Amino acid sequence: MSRIGKKPVQVPAGVTATVSGQTVTAKGPKGELQFVVNDEVLVKFEDGEIAVQPRDDSKEARSKWGMSRTQIVNILTGVKDGFEKKLEISGVGYRAALQGKNLQLALGFSHDVVYQTPEGITITVPKPTEIIVSGIDKQAVGQVAAEIREYRGPEPYKGKGVKYAGETIVRKEGKKK
């Protein structure tokens, strides 16, 4: 029994949600998103709440039940408030800058890394060592942040590289004589 899946999803104020068949569509101040629920899961919209239930008691239906509810919550939150991930850059000479819509990263390579911002994602650089990735699609925001971090992830000896804000890097001790 899914503890998450049992709870109905309240549609927040300022957001209109519609359920047609297996497609849940949400419109809000930030934009519009939709999610197609798997056929193993039943979706109902009643009294400003979206309820999700498995069609039968099979393992596949129960495994997709809670995930479907979470995806619906994510699209409702995304069109109302949006999502953002913060990245921090540490290291001598490591910095970020915006070049039009593209992100230019100096990460200790012989060349600058240029990351092209995908559609629906906004990247801001308030400081040369801080990057903020924001958008309405939680999966896309996380994917873009992971791709930027992948260029030069934090290394365990000096902690240099790109890391998520609040992430702790387990440091290793260097060589001893």
DSSP 171: P
Of 80, 105, 134, the residue that ends a domain is 80
pLDDT, tens digit, 9 for 90 and up, residues 161-170: 999 999 999 9
Is 176 within the bounds of a domain? no
pLDDT, tens digit, 9 for 90 and up, residues 133-161: 999 999 999 999 999 999 999 999 998 99
Percentage of residues in the chain with pLDDT exceeding 90? 75
- Whether 103 and 52 map to the same domain: the answer is no
Identify the domain containing residue 156 by its residue range: 83-164
**167: which 2 tokens?**
């992430």
Q: How many whole angstroms separate alpha carbon 23 and alpha carbon 40?
A: 13
Q: Which residue is listed with tokens 């971090």?
A: 149
Q: Is the pTM of this model over 0.85?
A: yes
Q: How many whole angstroms separate alpha carbon 118 and alpha carbon 141?
A: 10
Residue 116 CB neighbour total at 10 angstroms = 8
Q: Alpha helix locations (H) across the chain?
A: 3-6, 59-80, 138-151
